[in-house]
Amino acid sequence: MALVAPALAIVIAFFALPAVRLIATGASGPLGWRAYAAVLVQPRYATSLVETIVISAATTLAALALAGTLAVIVARARFPGRAALIAALTLPLAFPGVVVGFLVIAMGGRIGIVNAISSALGGPRIVFAYSLVGLFVGYLYFSLPRVFLTMLGAAEQLDASLEDAARSLGARPWQVVRDVLLPGLQPALIAAGAICFATAMGAFGTAFTLATRLDVLPMVIYTAFTLDADIATAATLSVVLGVVTWATLLLARNATGAETAAAG
Amino acid sequence: MKPARLAAILLTVATVAFLLVPVALSILVGFETDASDGPLGGLTLRWFAQVWSDDGATVGRSLTIAVVTTAVVALAGVPLAYVLATARRRWARVLEELVAVPIAVPGLALALALIEAYGGWGAFRGSSWFIVCGHVLFTLPFLTRSVLAALASSDLETLEAAAAALGAGPAQRFRDVVLPLARPGLVTGALMVFTLSIGEFNLTWMLHTPLTPTLPVGLADAYASLRLEVASAYTTLFFVIVVPVLLVLQWIARRTQARGVV
């Protein structure tokens, strides 16, 4: 018991107690505990919550499709420089959201690469960094390496002879994907997707750097806390956000847990 | 060449370009005299000198916070992982869940909770320790999992029983059996914690004060208010600190995997 004391003390002092306090603060506004129900129907916050869920879901689907495909490609191929390719694809793992926001500006800002190439070719002015597209590109950039790493691990564990068997039995390529690859990768897809979604829901740095007027939930919370000094609302929204991300991960784990049990 | 193979190569190249071209570009801009003239307009180290003289202390603070965080997390996480690896009881699973919850909760919410609970303790609130608390909470699950994985893949219980039968006490067993078995996980976990701490922004932006900015906070300020060349030089400085650690992590992962196959 003494061995777990330091970890337990940290989690209780810096998470459990503050979380209880935050939940109480969320109910300290004029509405009391009803504030939690109220933020879900109040148009400004409800819209923000829906927008955040939509952009996070879009990011998750795009990241799973792209990183999942790449993971299968890299897992099956053997070529010189493979290790370097994996290193290149996972390098941005260490970049925080703020830095990713800056890289989006380097791509799609006023003097970004895309605009430079377009104007050099006599094309139109293309600036997307500060719009919804820029935010999506940033979230995708942030998620790709993480999802790729999880999917690569799963794809390497998958028995390649199953695909060969399906092919030799006359399965078309799309049938191999549908009937062999996707079922085999499903637990990893769910796990990586859930983490990707939860991370995107709470992402703050990218939106902060892009300084867009997009009301993703973390930006709304930040604005409520700092500019409006509406600490009760900031707390209510934080608790809602935390519950959404935590529940997503819990659901995903139960789903993959059931999956593994069924397979075993 | 078969079309499917060509498509696979194109997709891979396009993704690598998407990930690395902006990095290369922002490094290049940090050396340019004037970003609107491009690299042919002249190269300079002036922006790096400016970042270093203005924000060298910030970089130093970030490194200190990362080292302290790693040390605290290792001291708390290794014993925890040992208990989780050996205890079969239900409470151990509950404890594992409890420690992992902070990963699932957005940093902004964790930071607000910390401020709500301890914001009134002026000296603590204003110190770098406040940031360390947030970082420790957020990174503890990563190191614990990494060490737990190393212990779970070893024959911990048999070895410990053998050591006990030979007369080794608990302290000696921990030092001579548990720690060596935990070491691969500890090294990976510690490097991961260090990288996470150096780059942490979601929590830190709320937890820092004007007197305790960290590297990502300095970056955010540079992006908001300084010229592009300085912001790029600052970003490059961040890459220089964080990328080597990441490469070592990748190298360890490859080596472990190669050994696993053999």
CA distance A107 to chain B (A): 6
Return the CA Rg of chain A: 22
The pLDDT assigned to B120 comes to: 85
The pLDDT assigned to A71 comes to: 95
In a domain, A236, yes or no: yes
User: Long-range contact list for B42-49, CB < 8 A, 24+ apart?
Assistant: B47/B229, B47/B230, B47/B232, B47/B233, B48/B233, B48/B236, B48/B237
In a domain, A29, yes or no: no
In a domain, A2, yes or no: no
Q: Is A56 helix (H, G, I), strand (E, B) or coil?
A: helix
Characterize A191-218 residue by residue with b for buried, 16 or more Cβ atoms within 10 angstroms of its Cβ, and e for exposed: bbbbbbbbbbbbbbbbbbbbebebbbbb
User: A218 to chain B: which residues are within 8 Å by CB?
Assistant: 106, 108, 202
In a domain, A55, yes or no: yes
The pLDDT assigned to B261 comes to: 43
With CA atoms as reference, the chain B residue closest to A145 would be B19
- pLDDT tens per residue across span A128-149: 988 889 999 999 999 999 999 9
Q: How many CA atoms lie within 13 A of A90 on its CB side?
A: 25
In a domain, A19, yes or no: no
Determine the Cα–Cα distance for residues A62 and B120; give it in Å rounded to an integer: 43
The pLDDT assigned to B259 comes to: 65
Task: Tell me whether residues A14 and B144 touch, CB distance under 8 A.
Answer: no
Task: Tell me whether residues A15 and B245 touch, CB distance under 8 A.
Answer: no
Nearest CB to A18; choose among B26, B116, B235: B116
The pLDDT assigned to B81 comes to: 94
Give the residue carrying structure tokens 């700092």: A226
- Sign, CA torsion B79/B84/B85/B90: positive
Task: Tell me whether residues A201 and B106 touch, CB distance under 8 A.
Answer: yes
With CA atoms as reference, the chain B residue closest to A21 would be B117
Of the candidate CATH numbers 3.40.50.2300, 3.40.50.1820, 1.10.3720.10, 1.10.260.40, the domain formed by B57-258 belongs to 1.10.3720.10
- Kindly state whether B168 is in contact with chain A, defined as any CB-CB distance less than 8 angstroms: no
Determine the Cα–Cα distance for residues B11 and A39; give it in Å rounded to an integer: 42
CA distance A239 to chain B (A): 7
Q: What is the mean pLDDT of chain A?
A: 88
Question: Which pLDDT band holds residue A235 (cuts at 50, 70, 90)?
Answer: very high
Q: Are B115 and B207 in contact (CB under 8 A)?
A: yes
In a domain, A84, yes or no: yes
The pLDDT assigned to A151 comes to: 93
Which residue, among A256, A184, A183, A214, has the nearest Cα to A56 in the 3D structure? A214
Environment class of A13 (CB within 10 Å of its CB; exposed 0-12, middle 13-18, buried 19+):
middle
CA distance B198 to chain A (A): 9
Question: Which pLDDT band holds residue A109 (cuts at 50, 70, 90)?
Answer: confident
User: A241 to chain B: which residues are within 8 Å by CB?
Assistant: 106, 108-109
Where residue A158 sits, what CATH number does that domain have? 1.10.3720.10
- CB neighbour list of residue B23: distance below 8 Å, 6 or more residues apart: A91, A92, A103, B239
The pLDDT assigned to B225 comes to: 85
CA distance A83 to chain B (A): 8
In a domain, A90, yes or no: yes
User: A77 to chain B: which residues are within 8 Å by CB?
Assistant: 8
Give the residue carrying structure tokens 């989690």: A11
- pLDDT tens per residue across span A208-228: 998 766 789 999 999 888 888
User: B98 to chain A: which residues are within 8 Å by CB?
Assistant: 11, 16
Question: Which pLDDT band holds residue A259 (cuts at 50, 70, 90)?
Answer: very low
Q: Are B119 and B125 in contact (CB under 8 A)?
A: yes
CA distance A89 to chain B (A): 6
Please indicate, yes or no, whether the overall pTM of this predicted structure exceeds 0.80: yes
Domain that holds residue A257: 43-263
Q: What are phi and psi of B43, to 5 degrees?
A: -115, 150
Give the pLDDT means over successive 10-residue stretches in chain B (262 positions): 85 96 93 84 90 91 96 95 87 85 88 91 90 95 92 87 88 89 91 93 92 94 89 94 90 75 40
In a domain, A32, yes or no: no
What is the residue type of A47? T
The pLDDT assigned to B160 comes to: 87
Mean pLDDT of A230-252: 91
Which residue, among A178, A188, A179, has the nearest Cα to A157 in the 3D structure? A188
CA distance A168 to chain B (A): 18
With CA atoms as reference, the chain B residue closest to A92 would be B19
Q: Residue A226 CB: number of other CB atoms within 10 A?
A: 12
Q: List the domain boundaries for chain B.
A: 57-258
Question: Which pLDDT band holds residue A262 (cuts at 50, 70, 90)?
Answer: very low
Q: Is B229 helix (H, G, I), strand (E, B) or coil?
A: helix
Cβ under 8 Å to A: B residues 204-243: 205-206, 216, 219-220, 223-224, 228, 231, 235, 238, 242-243
- CB neighbour list of residue A90: distance below 8 Å, 6 or more residues apart: A145, A148, A149, B246, B250
- pLDDT tens per residue across span A81-100: 898 999 999 999 889 999 99
Nearest CB to A7; choose among B76, B220, B254: B76
Task: Tell me whether residues B82 and A95 touch, CB distance under 8 A.
Answer: no
